[in-house]
Amino acid sequence: MNISFLGNWRKRRGPAFGVAVFSGGGDGDGHDGGDDEGHEGLAELLSECELLRTQAQQAGVELDDSAASLEALDQLVPRWRDDEETLAWLGNDAGLYLGTVVVRTIPGARWEIWPGGQPVVRLASGREIDVVEAGHEWAASGVPELSQLYAEIAEGNAP
Strands 119-122 and 110-113 come out as antiparallel
Which residues are CB-contacts of 97 (< 8 A; sequence separation ≥ 6)? 47, 49, 52, 53, 63, 70, 73, 135, 146
Residue 20 domain flag: no
- Please give the distance of CA 71 from its chain centroid, rounded to a whole number: 16
Contact yes or no for 81/132 (Cβ under 8 A): no
Residue 8 domain flag: no
Can you give the CATH number for the domain in which 96 is found? 1.20.120
Residue 23 domain flag: no
- Report the domain count for the chain: 1
Please tell me the predicted confidence (pLDDT) of residue 158: 65
Please tell me the predicted confidence (pLDDT) of residue 157: 75
Range of the domain at 135: 33-156
Reading the chain (159 residues) residue by residue, the pLDDT tens digits are: 444 433 443 444 444 444 444 344 444 344 444 456 667 888 888 889 999 999 999 999 999 999 999 999 999 999 899 999 999 999 999 999 999 999 999 999 999 999 889 999 999 999 999 999 999 999 999 999 999 999 999 998 765
Residue 10 domain flag: no
Residue 83 domain flag: yes
Please tell me the predicted confidence (pLDDT) of residue 37: 64
SS3 assignment, position 39: helix
